Structure 1
Amino acid sequence: MEDYAASFWIYIGVMSIFVCGAVKKFLTSHIGAMPSVLAWLCATLLVERLCVLCMPAVLARLVLCVSCWLYFTWATHKPSLPVEGKVVFITGCDSGFGNATAKRLDAMGFEVFATVLNLEGEGAKHLRRVCSSRLTLLQVDITQPQQVEQALLDTKAKLGMRDLWGLVNNAGLCVNIGDAELSLMSNYRGCMEVNFFGTLSVTKTFLPLLRQSNGRIITISSPSGEQPFPCLASYGASKAALNLFINTLRHELKPWGVKVSIILPSGFRTGQSSNTEYWDKQYKNLIQNLPPSLLEEYGEEYLLETKELFQSYAKTATEDLSPVIDTIVEALLSPQPQVRYYAGPGLYIMYFICSYLPLCFGDKFLQKLFVKKKLLPSSLRKHKELSLNNNNNNINDMNKSNNSFTKIIN
């Protein structure tokens, strides 16, 4: 009887540890870590079956000890690396994530090299005003290789014998406000130049410093590089190329001890996204440069609705950038940073739907989540109206024929 009671309480202890561990992993993990969560749940089920099959008390105690070790090894928070002496290079600090990250890291004690497009712009002035003397501002257009090389020389000169710990690839561009067919080739090229080739240039240029320090590369990408968001073809294509490059780099840099992470943020209000004049300018540029035949097929009303939907989405996006900034800090200081981080609301459910449910569910979800179009292109509307009129005429002709047939019978 006593052995049974001991086994029962050991069983309760083991199951409590495994269930609590699984719940904690589910609550704190990202969708990308789903396999580890499933593995934990499978281990829980295995232990439960073993205990049900009257596991001997000695073996049950051993399983309890192993369970405790696994729980405290995998499920508990690991201490962060020290900040002291760490130097980080960040691109795109005029506004948005880059500006906020530079301020946060400077306040934490990092030495920060922050690139801006304009040293006399509002973003640069703000950083000078609020940050310490540890922060260095560099004027860099990442699409210009000469400026990137000069930034490397300036950074090495100031570093001296010290190492560069981290590179945060943040600079990016999104100029798209229309369907893939409507997007101008200049939009595709512009996004690729900044988001892919610019980031590629910076990463390759600074890699020797990062290999020397066994440092970190953190790249801000986008879920649109993995999911087919409507009206984001040019931006999404550039981010998809970036994702593949960074993931390949991650494999290749493992022997060098350089850890590589990608951060995928949800919708945030950054840069020009809430600027009405910016969207009006993009819309006018699109109207002026579209071929007349294509503009006629889609119609100005369709394009105008798309622009207004983009503006509305930007206005409702959150201004609190802390989920992304916190993730960047974690990727810089975690002893074992994750390969992928999902930062912001709504991403977990989106990736779950798009990854594990049938394709039609994912497509519907993305359409409802982002650009909720109501208008059809002009040509489709006319075709639909014509079909409706033809159907009505056919119904009227049938009614007339029935009436005539009735009169003849009578």
Structure 2
Amino acid sequence: MKLYVLLVCYLCLLYILPITWVMKIIFAIPAFVLTYIARTTPCEEHVDLDKKAVLITGCDTGIGHELTKRLDSLGFRVFAGCLFQDGPGACQLRQQCSENVKILQLDVTNEEQVATAFKKVQEQLQDSGENLWGLVNNAAVNGMGEVEWVSVDAFKTVAEVNLWGTLRVTKAFLPLIRKSKGRIVMMSSMCGLVSFPCTAPYSVSKYAIEAVSDALRCEMFKWGVNVCIIEPGNYAGATRFFQRSTVETFMKNVWESMSERVRQDYGREYFDTIVKHLCGFSETGSSDLSPVMRDLTDALTSVSPRERYFPAPFSWKFIVSFFLYFPASITDIVFKISSHWFNLGITINHHNGTSKSNGKV
């Protein structure tokens, strides 16, 4: 907060100084650069972890699984919500973690399971004298495919977990978080910042998470609660989101749910090319979750956590920034060029209102 006050004072001083606007802009740039560096550097001052507990959803695999082990090593009491409390992921946590980790059966789409989990957490906290300091909304599923291909029900299925599940858990546990003046961590994605072709089902839910988080962050100021958003890049190598088998299974269901007319208009060859491209994307993702773990840990333990964290390689940060800050008239050129580059174009038959392959797919 002091940093922002100093920045505002400095900019006000520049505004009233009798110098040209060009000079004002030149002098303002270093201030913004220094502020960015300060805000993106992890804070060395941390909260006292004594008597603090954290609830994490989606701990069967991936980020939630690794975060459970990470927080356990730091001394947190961890309530690890798993879709399958007796599944291989939950069993692995029981074997590798200390007694501070409690496995919960938690399907975030199930009201009854969320209510039961809340009751168990509340009882455990009362018995131990601890407080629920953090809630990490990590549970999520993927969805992919062109908008015309994916059924409305498939869109709803993704949103039921990623959006409504997050809201359901957050609303249930907010009273405990408010009591401790703790942290709510929302797992978004770079797809919550930029929607790429074939990511609409997933991006819709993550854009919504961004909106909910921004509103909730401001609403929680009066309670002393911090709301942080994590926007990871492509970590397909460490999660099941873009594993080849996952992509192929999902896209098989997409093809089967498409109407006969849409299948004929796009053609199987074009569809298979898209699937191949998506599978290729799955093989480029990082398998090193350490940047994500670092930012999640900072969000939960820093005295002054950031509002947003973007753990991603520089290449993805550059790509996302390009699409965020340049006008669509420029960024769309990239997709038009890539469409021809990957031979993904189709020719519209205006006589019968259908489409056919141009022979280049």
**TM-score scaled by length of structure 1:** 0.72
Greater helix fraction, Structure 1 or Structure 2? 1
Counterpart amino acid of residue 311 in structure 1: C
Secondary structure, counterpart of 1:349 in structure 2: helix
Question: Does the CA contact (< 8 Å) of 2:346 and 2:358 recur in 1?
Answer: no
Secondary structure, counterpart of 1:228 in structure 2: coil
The one-character-per-residue Cα deviations of 1:135-181 (angstroms, maximum 9, x if unpaired) are: 000011000011001000000111114210000000011132x2111
Change (3 A) 1:137 1:357: same
Secondary structure, counterpart of 2:148 in structure 1: coil
CA distance in 1: counterparts of 2:228 and 2:335, whole angstroms? 25
Task: Say which of 281, 285, 310 aligns to 2:278.
Answer: 310
Secondary structure, counterpart of 1:336 in structure 2: coil
Counterpart amino acid of residue 310 in structure 2: Y
Question: Does the CA contact (< 8 Å) of 1:219 and 1:263 recur in 2?
Answer: yes
Task: Say which of 180, 187, 190 aligns to 2:157.
Answer: 190
Aligned to 1:400: none
Change (3 A) 1:129 1:39: farther
Secondary structure, counterpart of 1:92 in structure 2: coil
Aligned to 1:130: 96
Task: Tell which deviates more after alignment, 325-334 or 218-227.
Answer: 218-227
Change (3 A) 1:95 1:43: farther
Q: CA deviation at 1:310?
A: 1.3
Change (3 A) 1:208 1:379: same
Asked which structure has the greater CA Rg, the reply is 1
The one-character-per-residue Cα deviations of 1:306-328 (angstroms, maximum 9, x if unpaired) are: 11111111112110011111100
Task: Say which of 47, 57, 77 aligns to 1:91.
Answer: 57
Counterpart amino acid of residue 338 in structure 1: R
Question: Does the CA contact (< 8 Å) of 1:88 and 1:167 recur in 2?
Answer: yes
1:138-177 superposed matches below 5 A: 138-160=104-126, 161-176=129-144
1:6-405 superposed matches below 5 A: 77-160=43-126, 161-176=129-144, 178-269=145-236, 270-273=238-241, 275-345=243-313, 346-364=315-333, 373-377=342-346, 379=348, 382=356
Question: Does the CA contact (< 8 Å) of 2:147 and 2:200 recur in 1?
Answer: yes
Question: Does the CA contact (< 8 Å) of 2:267 and 2:357 recur in 1?
Answer: no
Stretches of structure 2 lacking an aligned partner (at least 5 in a row)? 20-30, 350-354
The one-character-per-residue Cα deviations of 1:264-313 (angstroms, maximum 9, x if unpaired) are: 00000244345433333223222222110000001111111111111111
The one-character-per-residue Cα deviations of 1:328-351 (angstroms, maximum 9, x if unpaired) are: 000011111111111111343134
Counterpart amino acid of residue 148 in structure 1: V
CA distance in 2: counterparts of 1:245 and 1:369, whole angstroms? 33
Question: Does the CA contact (< 8 Å) of 1:297 and 1:377 recur in 2?
Answer: no
Stretches of structure 1 lacking an aligned partner (at least 5 in a row)? 1-24, 26-32, 50-66, 386-410
Change (3 A) 1:223 1:275: closer
CA distance in 2: counterparts of 1:332 and 1:309, whole angstroms? 36
Q: CA deviation at 1:361?
A: 3.5
**TM-score scaled by length of structure 2:** 0.82
CA distance in 2: counterparts of 1:137 and 1:194, whole angstroms? 19
CA distance in 2: counterparts of 1:80 and 1:121, whole angstroms? 34
